[in-house]
Amino acid sequence: MRVATWNVNSLNARLERVLEWLAANGPDVLLVQETKLRDEAFPSSAFADLGYEGAHVGQGQWNGVAVVSRVGLDEVVRGLSDGEARLVGATCGGLRVYSCYVPNGRALDDPHYAYKLAWLEELRGLLAARDRSVPVLIGGDFNVAPADRDVWDPGALEGMTHVSGPERRALEALEATGLVDAVRCVHPDEPCFTWWDYRGGAFHRGWGMRIDLVYLDAALAPRVRAAYVDRDARKGTKPSDHAPVVVELDL
């Protein structure tokens, strides 16, 4: 099974690119973040033309997450207790998947930072209570770089969100529910950046961060056949500032 996650930074603006990428790469499941659409505007028919069905939770001009699958879409759940469009889950081909868009945090002294940590703790509780008889995969834009090797210059980001100790410990707590970082199963030391700022030529300079992550049941770690970032999808006209992360599993 091939599963991908991609923060598209507006599905309306990037729909043609997303459909072209789906047709060329053929993932069984695509986890989407920052659709920036209301549910009624989600382009279900465009995905259906390629053989996919989708589950979406949106709120208009910000947030919005989706699961798009060609191997089934059952037992859909939407959202956490905050009421924002940041989480959607479904069972696809025997795999329980979640698409998540973690709050940004803004700044260490901003109330949004405390909200981010609380949101991650609620997500940890959800995963800790999961049905262990069904393998799980959670992917998305976590807005946290797990370690210093996941950013282009740790010194440049000191004292900022995305790299703070509490945020990284929140990711470690997620892993402690029995998950592993799929990309690190294959590439333990490579940067594997997934996001580059639009400004300052960051992409071409290599000033990136690895904040789009895929976690899966530790028991599935030996079944990871490939895990990579599709940097080419960050190129061209009007790209998202994120690149897709793809994980191939032998299920």
pLDDT digits (tens, 9 = 90+) for 59-95: 999 999 999 999 999 999 999 999 999 999 999 999 9
* Residue 201: per-residue pLDDT: 95
* Residue 36: per-residue pLDDT: 98
* Residue 27: per-residue pLDDT: 98
Percent of the chain with pLDDT strictly greater than 70: 100
**What are the tens digits of pLDDT across the range 100-159?**
999 999 999 999 999 999 999 999 999 999 999 999 999 999 999 999 999 999 999 999
Number of domains comprising the chain: 1
Q: Name the band, by pLDDT with cuts 50, 70 and 90, for residue 211.
A: very high
Q: Name the band, by pLDDT with cuts 50, 70 and 90, for residue 41.
A: very high
Q: Supply the pTM of this predicted model.
A: 0.98
Phi/psi of residue 218, nearest 5 degrees: -55, -30
* Residue 132: per-residue pLDDT: 95
Cβ count within 10 A of residue 4: 24
Q: What average pLDDT does the segment 170-187 reach?
A: 98
Q: Range of 92's domain?
A: 2-249
Q: Name the band, by pLDDT with cuts 50, 70 and 90, for residue 234.
A: very high
Q: What average pLDDT does the segment 179-201 reach?
A: 97
- The CATH number given to whatever domain includes residue 180 is 3.60.10.10
β-partners of residue 6 are 32
* Residue 245: per-residue pLDDT: 99
* Residue 188: per-residue pLDDT: 97
* Residue 164: per-residue pLDDT: 98
Mean pLDDT of the chain: 97
* Residue 153: per-residue pLDDT: 97
